[in-house]
Structure 1
Amino acid sequence: MSSPSETGIAGRRVLLGISAGIAAYKSAQLARLLRQAGAEVRVVMTEGAQAFITPLTLQALTGEPVRTSLLDPEAEAGMGHIELARWADTILVAPATADLMARLATGMADDLLTTLCLASEAERVMAPAMNQAMWRHPATGRNAARLADDGWRLLGPASGDQACGDVGPGRMLEPEAILAALVDESQVSNAGDAPAAGLIVTITAGPTREPLDPVRYLSNHSSGKMGYALAEAAAALGATVRLISGPVSLPCPAGVERLEVETALEMHEAARRLAADSDLFIGCAAVADYRAEQAAEHKIKKVEGEEGLTLRLVKNPDIIATVATERDTGTGRPFVVGFAAETRDLEAYARDKLTRKRLDMIVANDVSRPGLGFGADDNAALVLWRRGARQDEASPESDGFDQEALAPQPKSRLAMAVIRRALACLPARPHP
Structure 2
Amino acid sequence: MKPRVVLGVGGGIAAYKACELLRLFTESGHDVRVVPTRDALKFVGEATWAALSGKAVSAEVWDAVEEVPHVRIGKSADLVVVAPATADLMARAAHGLANDLLTNTLLTARCPVVFAPAMHTEMWEHPATQANVATLRERGAIVVEPAVGRLTGVDTGKGRLPDPEEIFRICRDVLKGSTADLAGRRVVVSAGGTREAIDPVRFIGNRSSGLQGYALARTAVARGAEVTLVAANVGLPDPAGARVVRVESAIQLREAVLAAAEDADVVVMAAAVADFRPVRQQATKIKKTPGEPEPIYLTKNPDILAELGETRRKQREQGQPYPEVIVGFAAETDDVLANGRAKLARKGCDLLVVNQVGENLAFGTPDNAAIVLAADGDPVEIPRGPKEDLAGIVWDLVAGRLV
Contact 1:155 1:236 in 2 (8 A): no
Structure 2-normalised TM-score? 0.76
1:426 paired with 2:402, answer: yes
Task: Compute the displacement of 1:418 (Å).
Answer: 1.6
Q: CA RMSD in A?
A: 4.1
Equivalent residues, number: 384
Q: Which amino acid aligns with 1:270?
A: A
Identity %: 36
Task: Compute the displacement of 1:139 (Å).
Answer: 7.6
1:284 paired with 2:270, answer: yes
Contact 1:43 1:58 in 2 (8 A): no
Task: Compute the displacement of 1:338 (Å).
Answer: 1.0
1:17 paired with 2:8, answer: yes
Partner of 1:59: 46
Task: Compute the displacement of 1:219 (Å).
Answer: 1.6
2:215 to 229, 246, 254: 229
Q: 81-90 or 243-252, which moves further after superposition?
A: 81-90
Partner of 1:391: none
Task: Compute the displacement of 1:145 (Å).
Answer: 5.0
Contact 1:45 1:55 in 2 (8 A): no
Contact 2:324 2:402 in 1 (8 A): no
1:267 paired with 2:253, answer: yes
Partner of 1:355: 345
1:364 paired with 2:357, answer: no
Q: Unpaired runs of 5+ in structure 1?
A: 1-6, 149-153, 388-400, 428-432
Distance 1:89 1:378 in 2: 27
1:339 paired with 2:329, answer: yes
1:384 paired with 2:373, answer: yes
Task: Compute the displacement of 1:125 (Å).
Answer: 3.4
Deviations 1:29-88 (A, max 9, x none): 767887999967453527xxx3xx4558543434657435x7x7x988996634665686
Q: Secondary structure at the match of 1:118?
A: helix
Partner of 2:53: none
Structure 1-normalised TM-score? 0.71
Q: What aligned pairs does 1:149-228 form with structure 2 within 5 A after superposition?
A: 154=142, 156-161=144-149, 163=151, 167=157, 171-175=160-164, 177-178=166-167, 185=172, 187-190=173-176, 193-228=179-214
1:373 to 324, 347, 362: 362
Task: Compute the displacement of 1:129 (Å).
Answer: 0.9
Q: Secondary structure at the match of 1:95?
A: strand
Q: Unpaired runs of 5+ in structure 2?
A: 51-55
Q: What aligned pairs does 1:27-106 form with structure 2 within 5 A after superposition?
A: 27=18, 41=33, 43-45=35-37, 50=39, 53-54=40-41, 57-62=44-49, 66-67=58-59, 81-82=70-71, 91-96=80-85
Task: Compute the displacement of 1:362 (Å).
Answer: 1.2
Contact 2:170 2:218 in 1 (8 A): no
Deviations 1:242-280 (A, max 9, x none): 322222444434444433221111212221222223222
1:322 to 302, 307, 314: 307
Deviations 1:320-345 (A, max 9, x none): 23333444425323521111222344
Partner of 1:394: none
Partner of 1:144: 137
